Chain A
Amino acid sequence: MSDDLRDLYQEVILDHGRHPRNRRMVEHANHLAHGENPLCGDKLTVFVKLNDQGVIEDVSFEGQGCAISTASASLMTEVMIGKTEAEAEKLFGSFHALATGAEREEAEGMEDELDRLEVLAGVRDYPVRVKCATLAWHTLQAALHDEGKVSTE
Chain B
Amino acid sequence: MSVIDRPDHTLYPIDKIRADFPILAKPVRGKKLVYLDSTASAMKPHAVIEAEAQVYEEEYANIHRGLYYLSERATARYEESRKTVQRFIGARHAHEIIFTRNTTESINLVAASYGRRFLQEGDEVLVSGLEHHSNIVPWQFLVEEKGVVLKVIPVAEDGSVRLEDYAKLLGPKTKMVAVAHISNVLGTVLPIAEMIRLAHDVGAKVLIDGAQAVMHTHVDVAELDCDFYAFSGHKLYGPSGIGVLYGKEALLNAMPPYQGGGDMIATVSFAKSSWAPLPAKFEAGTPAIAQAAGLAAAIDYVQGVGIDRIAAHEHDLLAYATTRLNQIEGLRIIGTAPGKAAVISFVLDYAHPHDIAQIFDGQGVAIRAGHHCAQPLMQHFCVPATARASFGMYNERSEVDALVAAIRKVEGMFRE
Interfacial residues, chain A to chain B (CB-CB below 8 A): 1-2, 4-5, 8-9, 14, 17-18, 38-43, 64-68, 126, 129, 132
With both chains docked as a complex, state the minimum distance between the C-beta of A5 and any C-beta of chain B, in angstroms: 4
| Cα distance, A17 to B383, chains bound together (Å) | 18
Which residues in B have their C-beta under 8 angstroms from that of A5? 358-359, 362
With both chains docked as a complex, state the minimum distance between the C-beta of B288 and any C-beta of chain A, in angstroms: 27
B362 near A2: Cβ-Cβ < 8 Å? yes
Residue of B30, B359, B362, B370 near A40 (CB, 8 A) is B370
B370 near A4: Cβ-Cβ < 8 Å? no
Which residues in A have their C-beta under 8 angstroms from that of B352? 40, 64-67
The interface residues of chain A, by DSSP majority, are classed as mixed
With both chains docked as a complex, state the minimum distance between the C-beta of B254 and any C-beta of chain A, in angstroms: 38
A-B CB contacts (within 8 Å), total count: 62
Interfacial residues, chain B to chain A (CB-CB below 8 A): 29-30, 351-355, 358-359, 362, 369-371, 375, 378, 383-385, 409, 413-414, 416
* A132 to B, closest residue via Cβ: B354
- Known A41-B371, A43-B384: A2·B29 in contact at CB below 8 Å: yes
Which residues in A have their C-beta under 8 angstroms from that of B30? 2
Residue of B29, B351, B370 near A41 (CB, 8 A) is B370
A67 near B384: Cβ-Cβ < 8 Å? no
With both chains docked as a complex, state the minimum distance between the C-beta of B330 and any C-beta of chain A, in angstroms: 14
In the complex, given contacts A4-B29, A40-B352, what are 7 additional A-B residue pairs having Cβ atoms less than 8 angstroms apart?
A: A2-B29, A5-B362, A41-B370, A41-B384, A41-B385, A65-B352, A66-B353
* A63 to B, closest residue via Cβ: B384
Which residues in B have their C-beta under 8 angstroms from that of A39? 370
| Cα distance, A129 to B369, chains bound together (Å) | 12
| Cα distance, A2 to B370, chains bound together (Å) | 23
Residue of A1, A18, A132 near B416 (CB, 8 A) is A18
For the complex of A and B, 9 pairs with smallest distance between CB atoms: A41-B384, A66-B352, A66-B354, A41-B385, A5-B362, A40-B354, A67-B355, A41-B371, A2-B362
Q: List 11 A-B contacts (CB under 8 A).
A: A5-B359, A9-B358, A14-B414, A18-B416, A39-B370, A41-B385, A66-B354, A66-B355, A67-B352, A68-B354, A68-B355
Which residues in A have their C-beta under 8 angstroms from that of B378? 41
